[in-house]
Amino acid sequence: MDWSDEGIVLGARKHGESAAIVSLLTRNHGRHMGLVRGGAGRTRRNLMEPGNLLDAEWRARLADHLGTYTVELDRAYSAAVLDDPLRLAVLSSACAVADGALPEREPHATIFASMLHLLGGLTRDNAGGEVAVWSALYVRWELDLLRDLGFGLDLSVCAATGSEDGLAYVSPRSGRAVSLAAGEAYRDRLLSLPMFLADGSLPADIDQIARGLTMTGFFLERHVFGGLNKPLPAARGRMVSHYQRLVGSAPSATISSK
């Protein structure tokens, strides 16, 4: 049996002399593994960099076999961020989180589309100056992932009052927003809700991004990776450290979308 699809490289590991076992997030077939002959060789290994978009054809004798991929490069997203440590860390984190969180061979077209949107934001010609845009895209991508896996957060109204105004916290139990007035007495037990997630704006400073990552990381760890008995990916931790260093070096620094 066989099929053709688009696929984002999530990860690859060498197999034998020159082959590679590659994990792709495909548009129609979900996260799907396959063997690429020559994929670890000198002329083909650059295609297998996480984040690259490939045109892939998968073949196997039976549906439950590993199967083999024949691939061609569609877009080299990874090459566009190699000179920017923060963008590279964000791309690497997205690929590692998707590879660790998504069940194999289960379609997740929404996540594929959301990740492609993130990669496009990361690699635009002027993306280096659009930290607010692609940082917010990443946090929202993690929210999309949680939602698609059945753990969506309700950040639209206060869980206590039903009001849409003054949302400032998120309940770690219910994943619902809480207003500043309703949650102030319990603030030590609540997660911070950055303004850009409450009102759809762009984040004003790096601290908002760091707080957004803390919030999504909490729910990813509890509901997704915890259920799989796995820690959050190391690549995500390295990305978070990048943002935390920026916060520590310039706590009030703004980020521009220009």
pLDDT tens per residue across span 197-223: 998 889 989 999 999 999 999 999 999
Q: Give me the pLDDT at residue 34, please.
A: 97
Residues 6+ apart with CB under 8 A from 236: 93, 96, 97, 217
Residue 253, pLDDT above cutoff 70:
no
Indicate the angle between helix axes 109-123 and 85-101, nearest 10 degrees.
170
pLDDT-based confidence at residue 255 (cuts at 50, 70, 90):
low
Q: Of 135, 49, 50, nearest to 95 (Cα)?
A: 50
**Of 27-31, 57-61, 85-89, 130-134, which gets the smallest average pLDDT?**
130-134
pLDDT tens per residue across span 147-200: 999 999 999 999 999 999 999 999 999 999 999 999 999 999 999 999 999 988
Cα angle vertex 30, ends 27, 35, to 5°?
A: 100
* Token duo for residue 98: 């998707």
How far is 32 from 9, CA to CA, in rounded Å?
Answer: 10
How far is 150 from 25, CA to CA, in rounded Å?
Answer: 18
pLDDT tens per residue across span 2-30: 999 999 999 999 999 999 999 999 999 99
Q: Could you give all domains of the chain from N- to C-terminal order, each with its CATH number?
A: 2-76 (2.40.50.140), 80-155+193-249 (no CATH)
How far is 20 from 41, CA to CA, in rounded Å?
Answer: 9
